[in-house]
Structure 1
Amino acid sequence: MNQLTVFTPTFNRAYLLPQLYKSLIKQTNQDFEWLLVDDGSTDETNELVASWQKEKKITIHYVFQENQGMHGAHNTAYNTITTEFNVCIDSDDYMPDNAVELILKNTKNLDENEAGIIGLDATKDNKIIGTTIPSNLKAVKLNELYTLHQVKGDKKIVYKTAVVKQYPKYPLFEKERFVPLDYLYILIDQDYTLKPINEVLCIVEYQDDGSSRNILQQYRKNPNGFAFSRISRIKFGKTFKERFKNAIHLVSSAIFLKNPSWLFKSDKPLLVFLALPFGILLNLYIRFKTNK
């Protein structure tokens, strides 16, 4: 049985997937399998993946589901994965030739309190996304990496599958297709640390139709998903600034929903009350930006 699952949520990305496939068949360590969770694609993704399965160059599992959004695809992936470790590589990204080798080398002999490892993302021209991880850190929680150690930019996490399966699934909200993925990561942070490595595990390309480039539109279209994630961020935030910022966003999302009940779901009601005027201003700003 393979040690690692590389899983890829995908939706109408048949034109991009060959880049990732080519990077996977070139891996210096082939002790992995590739799981594609097709989130309702209407393009030729199914046929494309079937042709790769016939090539038998790597082990490929394909799961099709009705469209639920990125978080719904993650739910399905975590339900499906049986290997010891897993890593998400998005459909518009790919892996350096030695990424699997680095992952398996650095996941050996992890402590019980370590949920996995965290490495670097880079661009095609080998520029690190954001900043590297401080070399003195031997163990770190994801949220602390950004809030306390001031690390910048996306990073790549490899989790123990047994750890991920301990936590609740992302919720699915009717007519919405996005819940921020860090909801799960924050929960894991409460019980585990990550082993940091300053090695590039993923090459990132931000697409014009990707969620990173369209975050304000996502914010407005999926207010339940964003409000839900703010509740945990307020609860577990490490600094007052972080908690207050998320209280502001909770107010804004509640206004989009015309549902003030979200404001009473936080365990810090006074903080949410203080954030009200700022949340109103943020809501007006997002309306202005997304109406252009």
Structure 2
Amino acid sequence: MKVKIDKIQTPSLVSSSEDQYQVSSVDAATVERNQSQMRSYISTARAHLESLKQELYKTLDASGLSPAILQANGSLPAGADTSLPLSAFLEKAYTVQTYSDEGEPIINREQPYIDTGKQFAKFCDEWHPPRVPLTTDQILLNDAGKMIASINTALSQLNKVEATLTIARKDPAEYERAGLQFQQIPNAITTVLDSASQSKFVEVVPNQTVLQKIWSGLSELASKIGSFFSNLGKSETQQYREKFSAIREKYEEPIPSAAEEHHVDVSNDAKPAL
């Protein structure tokens, strides 16, 4: 793999008094009434994360590298299939937690792959002289692993919230728990953005234009969670009206009269010296 010189620029999270995502607890009734909006938010976040992951996986599989490069101690854990594409191997190493239609967690952890990911990350992160230096491919794959781990952690959080919303149909008390879980989504998304800003691997992804759109979309979702909760249940017209009123109040100032605009100060201090 060849590393590009230009460093990718991820957008800064917007921070304002109305958009801090330290959101107070959302009651169960609010969540129940507005769960369609919450599911829409989740779907948008998932689309961005999946698009990002696919761009990373396409780059990995095009590299020609095999999972054998992930050996940390001369061999891979027993049961790890090195004939898999690198993307499929990493997807097993950093598993997304999924749930049944009833909202119950599905056991989908394959330990040999998980152990491989942990051992390889530890091997790379704890490297120090006089050991043989890490290769460029090892450095990039370690970066890629961290990116995939953060993405799949965020996807797992999205799945958890959806599962809780599903369970809440039978047990309305669960709606409050869904609200609390939902508030953790921006933290998970921010971790993805932080990982990307420090990653060398994202620099070798060919389609940087697509990545920039993804960064922008994810940043918007993470930074506007406060506004999202304050707008739950409001129509689009009401949201625009409130935003317009807030801006008008912020910038509204008394308009000077014509007399004031043309007033000339003729006090002694203002008179020119003779």
TM-score band, normalised by shorter chain: under 0.3
TM-score between the two structures when normalised by the length of structure 1: 0.24
Higher RCO structure (Cα 8 Å, ≥6 apart): 2
Structure with higher Rg: it is 2
**If each structure's strand is expressed as a fraction of its own residues, which one has the higher value?**
1
